[in-house]
A and B are shown apart, each in its own frame.
Chain A
Amino acid sequence: MKKAAEAPQVEEPKAIELSDSSKDKEEFLPVKVEEKKPLSPEELDKLKNKETLNNENVRILIEQLETGSLQTFDQNSVELLQKVLQDNNKKGILSSIKEAGLWSVSALGAKVAGVFAGWELAGAAKEYISGKMKTYLSGIWAVDPKSFLTEVAKPDAGATGLFGAGKEALKAYIAQPMQELYNQTVSGTANALNEKIIRPLIDSIASLTGYSVIVPAGALGYLGGSMLIGGAVEMYREKKKNKSFERIDDLITKIKETKDKRDIDKDGFDPRLELIALHDEIVQTEGKNFKMSNEEWLMFVGAVRSVKIELLREKTLRPLIVVGDDLDQELKRQQEIIEAIIGGQQEIINLDLKTAAAILASFETEIGKEVEPVAKYLKNSNNFFRKLGQYSKAFVRGGINATGLPTLGRLWKKISKLAATYSTGGLVHAI
Protein backbone atom coordinates (compact mmCIF):
# COMPACT_ATOMS: atom_id res chain seq x y z
CA MET A 1 0.00 0.00 0.00
CA LYS A 2 1.33 3.34 -0.88
CA LYS A 3 1.98 5.74 1.85
CA ALA A 4 0.16 8.99 1.66
CA ALA A 5 3.35 10.96 1.38
CA GLU A 6 4.60 8.93 -1.55
CA ALA A 7 1.44 8.57 -3.52
CA PRO A 8 0.30 10.88 -6.22
CA GLN A 9 -1.78 13.41 -4.47
CA VAL A 10 -4.26 16.02 -5.36
CA GLU A 11 -2.72 19.40 -5.09
CA GLU A 12 -3.51 21.44 -2.08
CA PRO A 13 -6.29 19.31 -0.68
CA LYS A 14 -8.64 21.22 1.51
CA ALA A 15 -10.62 20.50 4.57
CA ILE A 16 -14.13 19.26 4.33
CA GLU A 17 -14.77 19.66 8.00
CA LEU A 18 -13.28 21.36 10.96
CA SER A 19 -13.19 19.14 13.95
CA ASP A 20 -10.66 19.10 16.69
CA SER A 21 -12.83 17.48 19.27
CA SER A 22 -12.67 13.82 18.37
CA LYS A 23 -11.01 13.10 21.64
CA ASP A 24 -14.05 14.38 23.42
CA LYS A 25 -16.57 12.32 21.59
CA GLU A 26 -16.36 9.18 23.64
CA GLU A 27 -19.48 8.25 25.48
CA PHE A 28 -19.10 6.47 28.71
CA LEU A 29 -20.90 3.81 30.54
CA PRO A 30 -21.92 4.49 34.09
CA VAL A 31 -19.39 3.40 36.66
CA LYS A 32 -20.58 2.34 40.05
CA VAL A 33 -18.89 4.34 42.75
CA GLU A 34 -19.19 4.00 46.46
CA GLU A 35 -21.13 6.76 48.06
CA LYS A 36 -18.91 9.31 49.74
CA LYS A 37 -19.46 11.09 52.96
CA PRO A 38 -19.62 14.86 52.81
CA LEU A 39 -16.50 16.56 54.06
CA SER A 40 -16.51 17.66 57.67
CA PRO A 41 -15.21 21.15 58.54
CA GLU A 42 -12.10 19.56 60.04
CA GLU A 43 -11.45 17.61 56.90
CA LEU A 44 -11.87 20.70 54.78
CA ASP A 45 -9.35 22.50 56.93
CA LYS A 46 -6.89 19.69 56.40
CA LEU A 47 -7.39 19.92 52.67
CA LYS A 48 -6.92 23.65 52.59
CA ASN A 49 -3.54 23.25 54.18
CA LYS A 50 -2.33 20.92 51.50
CA GLU A 51 -0.17 22.05 48.67
CA THR A 52 -2.53 20.42 46.25
CA LEU A 53 -4.98 23.27 46.63
CA ASN A 54 -2.34 25.62 45.39
CA ASN A 55 -2.18 23.76 42.15
CA GLU A 56 -5.33 24.29 40.21
CA ASN A 57 -4.87 21.29 38.00
CA VAL A 58 -4.31 18.89 40.82
CA ARG A 59 -7.16 20.40 42.78
CA ILE A 60 -9.50 19.84 39.87
CA LEU A 61 -8.36 16.29 39.41
CA ILE A 62 -8.79 15.44 43.06
CA GLU A 63 -12.15 17.14 43.17
CA GLN A 64 -13.32 15.22 40.13
CA LEU A 65 -12.14 11.95 41.57
CA GLU A 66 -13.79 12.65 44.88
CA THR A 67 -17.10 13.82 43.53
CA GLY A 68 -17.28 11.14 40.90
CA SER A 69 -17.46 13.74 38.17
CA LEU A 70 -14.36 12.46 36.43
CA GLN A 71 -16.20 10.79 33.62
CA THR A 72 -13.44 10.48 31.16
CA PHE A 73 -9.89 9.44 31.51
CA ASP A 74 -8.89 11.50 28.55
CA GLN A 75 -5.79 13.41 27.58
CA ASN A 76 -6.38 16.11 30.15
CA SER A 77 -6.90 13.80 33.06
CA VAL A 78 -3.98 11.64 32.02
CA GLU A 79 -1.77 14.68 31.94
CA LEU A 80 -3.05 15.79 35.29
CA LEU A 81 -2.44 12.40 36.75
CA GLN A 82 1.00 12.39 35.25
CA LYS A 83 1.79 15.63 37.05
CA VAL A 84 0.58 14.18 40.31
CA LEU A 85 2.54 11.00 39.91
CA GLN A 86 5.74 12.74 38.89
CA ASP A 87 5.70 15.11 41.82
CA ASN A 88 6.60 13.41 45.06
CA ASN A 89 4.96 16.15 47.05
CA LYS A 90 1.69 15.81 45.23
CA LYS A 91 1.81 12.04 45.34
CA GLY A 92 2.31 12.33 49.06
CA ILE A 93 -0.65 14.62 49.26
CA LEU A 94 -2.83 12.00 47.67
CA SER A 95 -1.67 9.52 50.27
CA SER A 96 -2.28 12.03 53.02
CA ILE A 97 -5.78 12.66 51.84
CA LYS A 98 -6.46 8.99 51.74
CA GLU A 99 -5.00 8.46 55.19
CA ALA A 100 -6.97 11.37 56.55
CA GLY A 101 -10.11 9.45 55.78
CA LEU A 102 -11.45 11.66 53.06
CA TRP A 103 -11.19 8.69 50.84
CA SER A 104 -11.50 5.25 52.20
CA VAL A 105 -9.08 2.83 50.61
CA SER A 106 -11.91 0.85 49.15
CA ALA A 107 -13.62 3.92 47.78
CA LEU A 108 -10.42 5.06 46.17
CA GLY A 109 -9.79 1.65 44.76
CA ALA A 110 -13.31 1.23 43.47
CA LYS A 111 -13.43 4.63 41.92
CA VAL A 112 -10.10 4.61 40.25
CA ALA A 113 -10.33 0.97 39.32
CA GLY A 114 -13.70 1.77 37.89
CA VAL A 115 -12.31 4.55 35.82
CA PHE A 116 -9.48 2.41 34.62
CA ALA A 117 -11.40 -0.76 34.09
CA GLY A 118 -14.27 0.95 32.34
CA TRP A 119 -14.25 2.11 28.81
CA GLU A 120 -12.29 5.18 29.71
CA LEU A 121 -9.27 2.97 30.14
CA ALA A 122 -10.05 1.32 26.87
CA GLY A 123 -9.88 4.72 25.31
CA ALA A 124 -6.61 5.47 27.00
CA ALA A 125 -5.17 2.11 26.03
CA LYS A 126 -6.34 2.61 22.51
CA GLU A 127 -4.66 5.96 22.38
CA TYR A 128 -1.50 4.42 23.72
CA ILE A 129 -1.44 1.64 21.21
CA SER A 130 -2.08 4.08 18.43
CA GLY A 131 0.96 6.01 19.49
CA LYS A 132 -0.52 9.01 21.22
CA MET A 133 -0.36 7.59 24.68
CA LYS A 134 3.37 7.32 24.65
CA THR A 135 3.40 11.08 24.63
CA TYR A 136 0.91 11.36 27.42
CA LEU A 137 2.66 8.86 29.61
CA SER A 138 6.21 9.24 28.43
CA GLY A 139 7.41 9.99 31.90
CA ILE A 140 5.77 6.98 33.46
CA TRP A 141 5.90 4.03 31.14
CA ALA A 142 8.10 2.90 28.35
CA VAL A 143 7.49 4.18 24.89
CA ASP A 144 6.63 1.12 22.91
CA PRO A 145 3.69 -1.21 23.45
CA LYS A 146 5.74 -4.28 24.22
CA SER A 147 7.74 -2.53 26.91
CA PHE A 148 4.59 -0.95 28.18
CA LEU A 149 2.92 -4.31 28.54
CA THR A 150 5.97 -5.84 30.13
CA GLU A 151 6.26 -2.98 32.56
CA VAL A 152 2.65 -2.91 33.60
CA ALA A 153 2.18 -6.65 33.76
CA LYS A 154 5.09 -7.32 36.09
CA PRO A 155 4.50 -7.54 39.83
CA ASP A 156 4.82 -4.21 41.55
CA ALA A 157 4.38 -4.32 45.29
CA GLY A 158 5.35 -0.70 45.57
CA ALA A 159 2.42 0.72 43.69
CA THR A 160 0.01 2.33 46.06
CA GLY A 161 -2.95 4.63 46.12
CA LEU A 162 -4.21 6.12 42.94
CA PHE A 163 -1.50 4.74 40.74
CA GLY A 164 -1.57 1.36 42.35
CA ALA A 165 -5.31 0.93 42.07
CA GLY A 166 -5.35 2.02 38.49
CA LYS A 167 -2.38 -0.07 37.64
CA GLU A 168 -3.84 -3.16 39.23
CA ALA A 169 -7.02 -2.71 37.27
CA LEU A 170 -5.06 -2.10 34.13
CA LYS A 171 -3.06 -5.24 34.71
CA ALA A 172 -6.10 -7.35 35.33
CA TYR A 173 -8.18 -6.15 32.45
CA ILE A 174 -5.76 -5.11 29.80
CA ALA A 175 -2.08 -5.63 30.26
CA GLN A 176 -1.87 -9.25 31.37
CA PRO A 177 -4.21 -10.58 28.71
CA MET A 178 -2.44 -8.55 26.08
CA GLN A 179 0.95 -9.65 27.32
CA GLU A 180 -0.15 -13.24 27.12
CA LEU A 181 -1.50 -12.63 23.68
CA TYR A 182 1.76 -11.08 22.70
CA ASN A 183 3.54 -14.25 23.70
CA GLN A 184 1.15 -16.56 21.90
CA THR A 185 1.98 -18.23 18.68
CA VAL A 186 -0.03 -17.00 15.75
CA SER A 187 -2.01 -20.20 15.53
CA GLY A 188 -3.28 -19.82 19.05
CA THR A 189 -3.91 -16.13 19.00
CA ALA A 190 -7.51 -16.01 17.87
CA ASN A 191 -8.79 -18.22 20.61
CA ALA A 192 -6.57 -16.49 23.12
CA LEU A 193 -8.08 -13.18 22.13
CA ASN A 194 -11.52 -14.44 22.92
CA GLU A 195 -10.66 -16.26 26.09
CA LYS A 196 -8.32 -13.69 27.52
CA ILE A 197 -9.89 -10.46 26.43
CA ILE A 198 -13.40 -10.65 25.12
CA ARG A 199 -14.72 -12.84 27.90
CA PRO A 200 -13.12 -10.86 30.77
CA LEU A 201 -14.32 -7.68 29.14
CA ILE A 202 -17.86 -8.90 28.92
CA ASP A 203 -17.69 -10.02 32.53
CA SER A 204 -16.20 -6.75 33.69
CA ILE A 205 -18.74 -4.74 31.77
CA ALA A 206 -21.50 -6.68 33.42
CA SER A 207 -20.06 -6.11 36.88
CA LEU A 208 -19.45 -2.43 36.29
CA THR A 209 -22.61 -1.46 34.53
CA GLY A 210 -25.27 -3.99 35.28
CA TYR A 211 -25.48 -4.84 31.60
CA SER A 212 -25.12 -8.45 30.81
CA VAL A 213 -24.23 -10.01 27.53
CA ILE A 214 -25.26 -13.58 27.11
CA VAL A 215 -22.48 -15.48 25.45
CA PRO A 216 -23.21 -19.19 25.55
CA ALA A 217 -20.44 -21.65 26.14
CA GLY A 218 -18.58 -22.33 22.97
CA ALA A 219 -19.17 -18.91 21.55
CA LEU A 220 -15.66 -17.78 22.01
CA GLY A 221 -14.20 -20.61 20.05
CA TYR A 222 -16.58 -19.79 17.27
CA LEU A 223 -15.41 -16.22 17.20
CA GLY A 224 -11.87 -17.35 16.69
CA GLY A 225 -12.87 -19.23 13.61
CA SER A 226 -15.03 -16.58 12.05
CA MET A 227 -14.17 -13.97 9.49
CA LEU A 228 -13.24 -16.48 6.91
CA ILE A 229 -13.20 -14.06 4.05
CA GLY A 230 -11.02 -11.47 5.70
CA GLY A 231 -8.56 -14.11 6.70
CA ALA A 232 -8.84 -16.42 3.76
CA VAL A 233 -5.19 -16.23 2.87
CA GLU A 234 -4.22 -16.97 6.44
CA MET A 235 -6.70 -19.77 6.88
CA TYR A 236 -5.74 -21.51 3.73
CA ARG A 237 -2.71 -23.03 5.39
CA GLU A 238 -4.91 -25.32 7.40
CA LYS A 239 -6.50 -26.88 4.40
CA LYS A 240 -5.59 -29.97 2.54
CA LYS A 241 -4.69 -29.80 -1.06
CA ASN A 242 -6.31 -31.67 -3.85
CA LYS A 243 -4.94 -31.93 -7.32
CA SER A 244 -7.17 -29.28 -8.87
CA PHE A 245 -6.57 -26.97 -5.97
CA GLU A 246 -2.82 -27.32 -6.25
CA ARG A 247 -2.32 -24.40 -8.63
CA ILE A 248 -4.38 -22.15 -6.40
CA ASP A 249 -2.51 -23.47 -3.42
CA ASP A 250 0.83 -22.59 -4.99
CA LEU A 251 -0.28 -19.09 -5.88
CA ILE A 252 -1.59 -18.37 -2.41
CA THR A 253 1.68 -19.65 -0.97
CA LYS A 254 3.64 -17.27 -3.17
CA ILE A 255 1.34 -14.41 -2.25
CA LYS A 256 2.01 -15.07 1.40
CA GLU A 257 5.74 -15.49 0.91
CA THR A 258 6.11 -12.23 -0.97
CA LYS A 259 3.75 -10.24 1.18
CA ASP A 260 6.43 -8.11 2.83
CA LYS A 261 8.52 -7.37 -0.23
CA ARG A 262 6.03 -6.52 -2.88
CA ASP A 263 7.26 -3.00 -3.08
CA ILE A 264 10.77 -4.24 -3.74
CA ASP A 265 10.21 -7.03 -6.23
CA LYS A 266 9.48 -5.45 -9.53
CA ASP A 267 10.39 -8.38 -11.73
CA GLY A 268 7.03 -8.39 -13.38
CA PHE A 269 5.63 -11.48 -11.70
CA ASP A 270 2.81 -10.86 -9.30
CA PRO A 271 1.15 -14.01 -7.94
CA ARG A 272 -1.88 -11.92 -7.06
CA LEU A 273 -2.52 -11.17 -10.69
CA GLU A 274 -2.03 -14.81 -11.50
CA LEU A 275 -4.61 -15.76 -8.91
CA ILE A 276 -7.11 -13.29 -10.33
CA ALA A 277 -6.40 -14.52 -13.83
CA LEU A 278 -6.96 -18.06 -12.70
CA HIS A 279 -10.29 -17.10 -11.20
CA ASP A 280 -11.31 -15.45 -14.45
CA GLU A 281 -10.19 -18.51 -16.35
CA ILE A 282 -12.28 -20.79 -14.19
CA VAL A 283 -15.31 -18.60 -14.67
CA GLN A 284 -14.77 -18.30 -18.41
CA THR A 285 -14.25 -21.99 -18.94
CA GLU A 286 -17.07 -22.89 -16.59
CA GLY A 287 -14.73 -24.75 -14.36
CA LYS A 288 -13.31 -27.24 -16.81
CA ASN A 289 -10.29 -28.99 -15.35
CA PHE A 290 -10.97 -27.53 -11.95
CA LYS A 291 -12.65 -29.56 -9.28
CA MET A 292 -13.07 -27.94 -5.91
CA SER A 293 -15.17 -28.61 -2.89
CA ASN A 294 -17.39 -25.77 -1.74
CA GLU A 295 -14.98 -25.14 1.09
CA GLU A 296 -12.08 -24.80 -1.31
CA TRP A 297 -14.18 -22.57 -3.52
CA LEU A 298 -14.94 -20.40 -0.51
CA MET A 299 -11.26 -20.04 0.23
CA PHE A 300 -10.49 -19.35 -3.37
CA VAL A 301 -13.00 -16.54 -3.81
CA GLY A 302 -12.00 -15.16 -0.42
CA ALA A 303 -8.36 -15.07 -1.47
CA VAL A 304 -9.25 -13.46 -4.78
CA ARG A 305 -11.22 -10.82 -2.95
CA SER A 306 -8.29 -10.15 -0.59
CA VAL A 307 -5.76 -9.66 -3.35
CA LYS A 308 -8.14 -7.53 -5.41
CA ILE A 309 -8.62 -5.20 -2.49
CA GLU A 310 -4.88 -5.08 -1.87
CA LEU A 311 -4.26 -4.17 -5.49
CA LEU A 312 -7.04 -1.64 -5.42
CA ARG A 313 -5.52 0.07 -2.42
CA GLU A 314 -2.12 0.15 -4.06
CA LYS A 315 -3.38 1.63 -7.27
CA THR A 316 -5.90 4.05 -5.94
CA LEU A 317 -4.86 7.67 -5.80
CA ARG A 318 -4.50 8.92 -2.31
CA PRO A 319 -6.49 12.10 -2.18
CA LEU A 320 -6.39 13.83 1.15
CA ILE A 321 -9.15 15.25 3.22
CA VAL A 322 -7.58 17.95 5.27
CA VAL A 323 -9.22 18.46 8.61
CA GLY A 324 -8.22 21.75 10.03
CA ASP A 325 -8.88 25.43 10.35
CA ASP A 326 -8.86 26.25 6.68
CA LEU A 327 -12.49 26.20 5.74
CA ASP A 328 -12.04 28.71 2.98
CA GLN A 329 -11.56 26.14 0.31
CA GLU A 330 -12.27 25.37 -3.25
CA LEU A 331 -15.50 23.46 -3.20
CA LYS A 332 -15.06 21.81 -6.56
CA ARG A 333 -11.67 20.39 -5.68
CA GLN A 334 -13.01 19.13 -2.40
CA GLN A 335 -15.86 17.41 -4.15
CA GLU A 336 -13.46 15.68 -6.51
CA ILE A 337 -11.53 14.37 -3.57
CA ILE A 338 -14.64 13.05 -1.91
CA GLU A 339 -15.81 11.47 -5.13
CA ALA A 340 -12.46 9.74 -5.55
CA ILE A 341 -12.68 8.28 -2.07
CA ILE A 342 -16.25 7.21 -2.58
CA GLY A 343 -15.32 5.63 -5.89
CA GLY A 344 -12.60 3.56 -4.26
CA GLN A 345 -14.94 2.45 -1.52
CA GLN A 346 -17.61 1.59 -4.03
CA GLU A 347 -15.27 -0.80 -5.80
CA ILE A 348 -14.71 -2.63 -2.54
CA ILE A 349 -18.45 -2.71 -1.87
CA ASN A 350 -19.08 -4.23 -5.29
CA LEU A 351 -16.30 -6.71 -4.76
CA ASP A 352 -17.74 -7.83 -1.44
CA LEU A 353 -21.20 -8.27 -2.90
CA LYS A 354 -19.82 -10.19 -5.86
CA THR A 355 -17.86 -12.42 -3.54
CA ALA A 356 -21.01 -13.02 -1.50
CA ALA A 357 -22.84 -13.86 -4.71
CA ALA A 358 -20.12 -16.31 -5.62
CA ILE A 359 -20.41 -17.97 -2.25
CA LEU A 360 -24.17 -18.14 -2.41
CA ALA A 361 -23.91 -19.57 -5.88
CA SER A 362 -21.52 -22.21 -4.64
CA PHE A 363 -24.17 -23.41 -2.24
CA GLU A 364 -26.59 -23.95 -5.02
CA THR A 365 -25.16 -27.39 -5.24
CA GLU A 366 -24.29 -29.79 -2.50
CA ILE A 367 -20.96 -29.59 -0.78
CA GLY A 368 -18.40 -31.58 -2.64
CA LYS A 369 -19.80 -30.87 -6.06
CA GLU A 370 -17.52 -29.54 -8.70
CA VAL A 371 -17.07 -25.87 -9.37
CA GLU A 372 -18.51 -25.95 -12.88
CA PRO A 373 -22.11 -25.01 -11.95
CA VAL A 374 -20.78 -22.12 -9.90
CA ALA A 375 -18.62 -20.77 -12.67
CA LYS A 376 -21.47 -21.07 -15.12
CA TYR A 377 -23.71 -19.26 -12.72
CA LEU A 378 -21.26 -16.41 -12.21
CA LYS A 379 -21.13 -15.70 -15.90
CA ASN A 380 -24.82 -14.95 -15.87
CA SER A 381 -25.28 -13.44 -12.46
CA ASN A 382 -25.85 -9.77 -13.28
CA ASN A 383 -29.50 -9.85 -12.41
CA PHE A 384 -28.79 -11.79 -9.28
CA PHE A 385 -26.09 -9.31 -8.31
CA ARG A 386 -28.39 -6.32 -8.65
CA LYS A 387 -31.01 -8.01 -6.57
CA LEU A 388 -28.39 -8.97 -4.03
CA GLY A 389 -27.41 -5.33 -3.48
CA GLN A 390 -30.86 -4.42 -2.24
CA TYR A 391 -31.51 -7.65 -0.47
CA SER A 392 -28.28 -7.54 1.49
CA LYS A 393 -29.17 -4.22 3.09
CA ALA A 394 -32.47 -5.42 4.43
CA PHE A 395 -30.92 -8.73 5.39
CA VAL A 396 -28.11 -7.24 7.44
CA ARG A 397 -29.80 -4.19 8.93
CA GLY A 398 -33.17 -5.68 9.61
CA GLY A 399 -31.73 -8.94 10.73
CA ILE A 400 -29.26 -7.42 13.13
CA ASN A 401 -31.97 -5.22 14.58
CA ALA A 402 -34.13 -8.28 15.05
CA THR A 403 -31.40 -9.99 17.05
CA GLY A 404 -31.71 -7.30 19.70
CA LEU A 405 -28.10 -6.24 19.42
CA PRO A 406 -28.93 -2.53 19.08
CA THR A 407 -30.85 -2.63 22.33
CA LEU A 408 -27.59 -3.11 24.12
CA GLY A 409 -27.00 0.50 23.23
CA ARG A 410 -23.56 1.75 23.89
CA LEU A 411 -22.29 -1.59 24.99
CA TRP A 412 -21.90 -3.21 21.62
CA LYS A 413 -20.17 -0.14 20.25
CA LYS A 414 -17.70 -0.09 23.08
CA ILE A 415 -16.96 -3.77 22.74
CA SER A 416 -16.46 -3.46 19.03
CA LYS A 417 -14.19 -0.48 19.51
CA LEU A 418 -12.17 -2.21 22.16
CA ALA A 419 -11.94 -5.42 20.22
CA ALA A 420 -10.78 -3.34 17.31
CA THR A 421 -8.01 -1.97 19.50
CA TYR A 422 -6.70 -5.44 20.07
CA SER A 423 -6.82 -6.25 16.42
CA THR A 424 -4.33 -3.52 15.66
CA GLY A 425 -0.70 -2.99 16.37
CA GLY A 426 0.31 -6.40 15.15
CA LEU A 427 -0.82 -8.09 18.32
CA VAL A 428 -3.44 -10.22 16.69
CA HIS A 429 -2.75 -11.59 13.27
CA ALA A 430 -5.07 -14.51 12.93
CA ILE A 431 -8.38 -12.70 12.65
Chain B
Amino acid sequence: MDIIEEFSAELLSDLGIGDSDGEQYKKLLNTINDRVNARLFLEIISVLSPEQAMEVREDMEKAEPNPEKLLFDISQKIPNFQAMVVQLMAKIRVELLEDLKPLIVKK
Protein backbone atom coordinates (compact mmCIF):
# COMPACT_ATOMS: atom_id res chain seq x y z
CA MET B 1 0.00 0.00 0.00
CA ASP B 2 1.53 3.30 -1.00
CA ILE B 3 1.28 6.62 0.72
CA ILE B 4 -1.87 7.75 -1.07
CA GLU B 5 -3.63 4.43 -0.56
CA GLU B 6 -2.80 4.60 3.14
CA PHE B 7 -4.11 8.13 3.27
CA SER B 8 -7.33 7.17 1.50
CA ALA B 9 -7.89 4.02 3.55
CA GLU B 10 -7.39 5.95 6.76
CA LEU B 11 -9.84 8.60 5.64
CA LEU B 12 -12.49 6.00 4.90
CA SER B 13 -11.74 4.39 8.23
CA ASP B 14 -12.23 7.71 9.98
CA LEU B 15 -15.61 7.94 8.29
CA GLY B 16 -16.49 4.55 9.71
CA ILE B 17 -16.27 2.76 6.39
CA GLY B 18 -14.34 -0.48 6.62
CA ASP B 19 -13.42 -3.13 4.11
CA SER B 20 -15.72 -5.97 5.08
CA ASP B 21 -17.56 -5.51 1.81
CA GLY B 22 -14.68 -6.09 -0.55
CA GLU B 23 -16.03 -4.92 -3.88
CA GLN B 24 -17.83 -1.80 -2.77
CA TYR B 25 -15.03 -0.79 -0.50
CA LYS B 26 -12.47 -1.23 -3.26
CA LYS B 27 -14.50 0.92 -5.60
CA LEU B 28 -14.74 3.69 -3.06
CA LEU B 29 -11.09 3.39 -2.11
CA ASN B 30 -9.96 3.52 -5.72
CA THR B 31 -12.11 6.57 -6.34
CA ILE B 32 -10.73 8.35 -3.31
CA ASN B 33 -7.23 7.37 -4.41
CA ASP B 34 -7.85 8.88 -7.81
CA ARG B 35 -9.28 12.02 -6.36
CA VAL B 36 -6.35 12.54 -3.99
CA ASN B 37 -3.96 11.82 -6.81
CA ALA B 38 -5.64 14.18 -9.26
CA ARG B 39 -5.81 16.96 -6.71
CA LEU B 40 -2.17 16.56 -5.70
CA PHE B 41 -1.19 16.56 -9.34
CA LEU B 42 -3.17 19.72 -9.96
CA GLU B 43 -1.70 21.52 -6.98
CA ILE B 44 1.85 20.47 -7.80
CA ILE B 45 1.41 21.54 -11.41
CA SER B 46 0.15 24.91 -10.25
CA VAL B 47 3.38 25.68 -8.42
CA LEU B 48 5.73 24.67 -11.21
CA SER B 49 7.78 27.20 -13.04
CA PRO B 50 7.17 27.45 -16.79
CA GLU B 51 10.40 25.57 -17.37
CA GLN B 52 9.37 22.76 -15.02
CA ALA B 53 5.94 22.58 -16.60
CA MET B 54 7.57 22.24 -19.98
CA GLU B 55 9.70 19.40 -18.63
CA VAL B 56 6.49 17.61 -17.65
CA ARG B 57 5.02 18.18 -21.08
CA GLU B 58 8.16 16.94 -22.78
CA ASP B 59 8.39 13.89 -20.57
CA MET B 60 4.80 12.98 -21.37
CA GLU B 61 5.62 12.99 -25.03
CA LYS B 62 8.55 10.62 -24.65
CA ALA B 63 8.25 7.00 -25.70
CA GLU B 64 9.44 5.96 -22.27
CA PRO B 65 8.50 8.69 -19.84
CA ASN B 66 9.87 8.65 -16.35
CA PRO B 67 7.42 10.66 -14.26
CA GLU B 68 8.71 9.34 -10.95
CA LYS B 69 12.21 10.60 -11.59
CA LEU B 70 10.94 13.83 -13.05
CA LEU B 71 8.92 14.73 -9.99
CA PHE B 72 11.80 13.75 -7.76
CA ASP B 73 14.13 16.02 -9.73
CA ILE B 74 11.61 18.84 -9.72
CA SER B 75 10.93 18.38 -6.03
CA GLN B 76 14.58 19.06 -5.34
CA LYS B 77 14.12 22.50 -6.82
CA ILE B 78 10.88 23.34 -5.04
CA PRO B 79 11.55 24.74 -1.60
CA ASN B 80 10.22 22.49 1.12
CA PHE B 81 8.45 20.14 -1.18
CA GLN B 82 7.80 17.55 1.51
CA ALA B 83 6.20 20.05 3.83
CA MET B 84 4.15 21.36 0.96
CA VAL B 85 2.84 17.88 0.18
CA VAL B 86 1.90 17.28 3.80
CA GLN B 87 0.07 20.57 3.90
CA LEU B 88 -1.69 19.77 0.65
CA MET B 89 -2.79 16.41 1.97
CA ALA B 90 -4.13 18.08 5.07
CA LYS B 91 -6.22 20.38 2.93
CA ILE B 92 -7.40 17.54 0.74
CA ARG B 93 -8.34 15.59 3.83
CA VAL B 94 -10.52 18.43 5.06
CA GLU B 95 -12.21 18.78 1.70
CA LEU B 96 -12.88 15.07 1.39
CA LEU B 97 -14.26 14.86 4.91
CA GLU B 98 -16.52 17.82 4.19
CA ASP B 99 -17.67 16.13 1.01
CA LEU B 100 -18.22 12.68 2.41
CA LYS B 101 -19.32 13.23 5.99
CA PRO B 102 -22.80 14.38 5.02
CA LEU B 103 -23.19 11.09 3.16
CA ILE B 104 -22.54 8.97 6.21
CA VAL B 105 -25.21 8.32 8.77
CA LYS B 106 -24.34 6.34 11.86
CA LYS B 107 -27.13 4.36 13.38
Chain A interface residues toward B at CB < 8 A: 3-4, 13, 15-20, 22, 25, 198, 213, 215-216, 218-220, 222-223, 226-230, 294, 298, 302, 305, 313, 318-326, 334-335, 338-339, 341-342, 345-346, 348-350, 352-353, 355-356, 359-360, 363-364, 366-367, 384, 387-388, 391-406, 412-413, 415-420, 423-424, 431
Give A249 Cβ to nearest chain B Cβ, in Å. 20
- Chain B binding surface, main DSSP class: helix
**Closest chain A residue to B101 by CB distance?**
A4
Q: How far is the CA of A364 from the CA of B44 in the complex (A)?
A: 17
Chain A residues near B63 (CB, 8 Å)?
none
Q: In the bound complex, do residue A223 and residue B16 qualify as a contact, i.e. CB atoms below 8 Å apart?
A: no
Interface magnitude class on chain B: 35 or more
Given contacts A13-B105, A321-B105, A360-B56, contact A341 B43 (CB under 8 A): no
Chain A residues near B37 (CB, 8 Å)?
392-393, 396-397
- Chain A binding surface, main DSSP class: helix
Give A195 Cβ to nearest chain B Cβ, in Å. 13
Q: How far is the CA of A380 from the CA of B14 in the complex (A)?
A: 41
Q: How far is the CA of A292 from the CA of B78 in the complex (A)?
A: 25
List 14 other contacts, CB 8 Å, given A216-B80, A227-B88, A394-B67: A20-B106, A220-B80, A345-B31, A345-B32, A346-B34, A349-B35, A352-B38, A352-B39, A360-B56, A394-B65, A397-B68, A402-B72, A415-B86, A416-B90
Chain A residues near B71 (CB, 8 Å)?
395-396, 398-400, 402-403
Q: How far is the CA of A227 from the CA of B46 in the complex (A)?
A: 8
Chain A residues near B38 (CB, 8 Å)?
348-350, 352-353, 356, 392
Q: In the bound complex, do residue B60 and residue A404 qualify as a contact, i.e. CB atoms below 8 Å apart?
A: no
Q: How far is the CA of A206 from the CA of B67 in the complex (A)?
A: 32
Given contacts A229-B43, A363-B50, A392-B38, contact A423 B107 (CB under 8 A): no
Q: In the bound complex, do residue A218 and residue B72 qualify as a contact, i.e. CB atoms below 8 Å apart?
A: no
Q: In the bound complex, do residue B80 and residue A218 qualify as a contact, i.e. CB atoms below 8 Å apart?
A: yes
**Closest chain B residue to A363 by CB distance?**
B53
Given contacts A198-B83, A313-B99, A417-B93, contact A320 B105 (CB under 8 A): yes
Q: In the bound complex, do residue A341 and residue B28 qualify as a contact, i.e. CB atoms below 8 Å apart?
A: yes
Q: How far is the CA of A295 from the CA of B8 in the complex (A)?
A: 32
**Which listed residue (B13, B50, B53, B74) contacts A25, Cβ 8 A?**
B13
Chain B interface residues toward A at CB < 8 A: 2-4, 6-7, 10, 13-21, 24-25, 27-28, 31-32, 34-35, 37-48, 50, 53-54, 56-57, 59-60, 65, 67-72, 74-75, 79-91, 93-95, 97, 99-100, 102-107
Selected A-B contacts with CB under 8 Å, 28 pairs? A17-B19, A19-B18, A226-B84, A229-B42, A229-B46, A230-B95, A305-B42, A319-B103, A323-B106, A324-B105, A338-B24, A349-B38, A350-B38, A352-B41, A356-B41, A360-B53, A367-B50, A393-B34, A395-B41, A399-B67, A399-B70, A405-B3, A406-B3, A413-B6, A413-B10, A416-B86, A416-B89, A417-B90
**Closest chain A residue to B45 by CB distance?**
A356
Chain B residues near A305 (CB, 8 Å)?
42
Q: In the bound complex, do residue A360 and residue B57 qualify as a contact, i.e. CB atoms below 8 Å apart?
A: yes
**Which listed residue (B19, B47, B106) contacts A324, Cβ 8 A?**
B106
Chain B residues near A321 (CB, 8 Å)?
17, 103-105
**Closest chain A residue to B93 by CB distance?**
A420
Chain B residues near A219 (CB, 8 Å)?
79-80, 83-84
Q: How far is the CA of A198 from the CA of B90 in the complex (A)?
A: 12
Q: How far is the CA of A326 from the CA of B105 in the complex (A)?
A: 12
Chain A residues near B68 (CB, 8 Å)?
394-395, 397-399, 401-402
Q: How far is the CA of A222 from the CA of B78 in the complex (A)?
A: 10
Q: In the bound complex, do residue A423 and residue B32 qualify as a contact, i.e. CB atoms below 8 Å apart?
A: no
Chain B residues near A353 (CB, 8 Å)?
38, 41-42
Chain A residues near B105 (CB, 8 Å)?
4, 13, 320-324
Give B65 Cβ to nearest chain A Cβ, in Å. 7
Chain B residues near A345 (CB, 8 Å)?
31-32, 34-35, 99
Q: How far is the CA of A420 from the CA of B43 in the complex (A)?
A: 16
Q: In the bound complex, do residue A342 and residue B28 qualify as a contact, i.e. CB atoms below 8 Å apart?
A: yes
Given contacts A17-B17, A319-B103, A359-B53, contact A226 B86 (CB under 8 A): no
